Each structure stands twice: as C-alpha cells, then as structure tokens.
Amino acid sequence: MELIDFILHIDEHLADFIRDYGYWVYAILFIIVFVETGIVVMPFLPGDSLLFAAGMLAAQDNGLNVWIVIVLLLIAAILGDSLNYSIGNKFGMKVTRVKVFGKQFVQQSHIDKTHEFYEKYGSKTIVIARFVPIVRTLAPFVAGIGSMRYRTFLTYNVLGAILWVVGITLVGYFLGNIPIIKDNFSKVVIGIILLSLLPIVYEVVKAKISNKNKQENINI
C-alpha cells in the first residue's frame, strides 16, 4: 500500500525531497531509474510516472533544472539496461528466483511475455519495452540471456532511453502545470499506467482471438 501511495502521489513526494534534500534530489532520481532498469528483481518501481513528475516539478520555481534531470536520467537508464544485460548474460535465469522483501517479484509469466515481445519485434523490443512496465526491466535481462550482441543491444538501448526519458520528461514539463492535470495528478498517473499496459493487453487479446480462431478451424 505504501508503494501504491508513493506512485500515485509521487509529485508530492518529489516536492518533499526537493525541499528536504535540495540538489541531492538529482541523485535520488538517478538511483530510482537506475535500479528500476538495472536490477531485474526490481521491476515495480515507478519509472513512467517518475519521469512525468520530475518534468512537471522542473517547470516550477524550485531549483530543479529540466535539462540536468534529462541528462542524468538518460545516463541512469542506459547504464541500468546495460547492467541488466550483463546480469542476464553472466548469471541467467537463476537471478529471477531472488526474493525482495520476502516476495519473488519476477514470475515465469513475466519472462514468457518478454519472450513473446522478442518473437514479435526482435531487437526493437529494447526500444518498445521502455514504455511497458515490467517488460522494461526484463527486456535487457532476456537479451543478455539470449544471443543478442552487446553492440546491437547498446544501439537500441540508447535509442530507447532517449525516446523514453526525453519524451515523458518533456511531456511532464510542458503539460504538468496545466491546472486540471496538476490538480488531478493521481488520476494522470493511473492513466499513464493504463496506457503503458495497453501493448500487453493488446497482445493478450490478440493471442486469445488467434487461439480461438485456430480452435474453430480445427473443429470445422
């Protein structure tokens, strides 16, 4: 419940961080993005909403510079994915059995869904996954386990990081202080999460329809 509250009210928590820690908030933002993208057992951190909130707060008169935020989080996202690739390449699937706070957050179904993304989109999964919760964290890990060359991975890693960090942070920067958005931030976060989940929902529905059609053809 505390994690859900943090995600839904991340704008308020970030404002508190800025007030209490000043420029150290840059390090806090860096660490959150790096851990979410770089540690395969931590796929539950609020990447998309964090970027939006950081952009929104940078537009306010509080000392937070949007370009410093973007540069730092770009580095964090690229290094995080690279670390995750290395973990997958060196340790493989046994890492997913690690428990955090007594819970195993990475389920086999998550890994299977990530494999499905690779089967459909190939190397472009690294870019697309940036915008899909959970898959975002697992995609570089699965790439490391598989046969993707690091040079290929790094190219898509950098491209995906630029689109993700720059895109969502600037959306927050330019739209976040519109009164209706600012006053309903928790609803905006829910909307961001739902939009992020649309690719997964689409693939699940598509797979079910495909299986149903195959079954009907067999019966005929």
The predicted-structure confidence for 104-127, as pLDDT tens digits, reads as follows 556 676 677 777 777 777 788 888
Residue-averaged pLDDT of the chain: 79
Q: What single-letter amino acid sits at 73? A: L
3-state helix, strand, coil split of the chain in percent (to 5) is 80, 0, 20
Q: What is the CA radius of gyration of the chain?
A: 18
Q: What's residue 97's pLDDT? A: 67
Tokens matching residue 144? 């490391």
Question: Confidence class of residue 215 from pLDDT cuts 50, 70 and 90?
Answer: low
Q: What single-letter amino acid sits at 93? A: M
Please give the average per-residue pLDDT across 71-93, as a whole number. 90
For Cα atoms 40, 48, 25, give the angle at the middle one, nearest 5 degrees.
Answer: 90
Q: What's residue 207's pLDDT? A: 63
- Cα 39 from Cα 208, distance rounded (Å): 31
Q: How much is the pTM?
A: 0.77
Q: Kindly tell me if the per-residue pLDDT of 194 is higher than 80.
A: no
Tokens matching residue 15? 């404002």
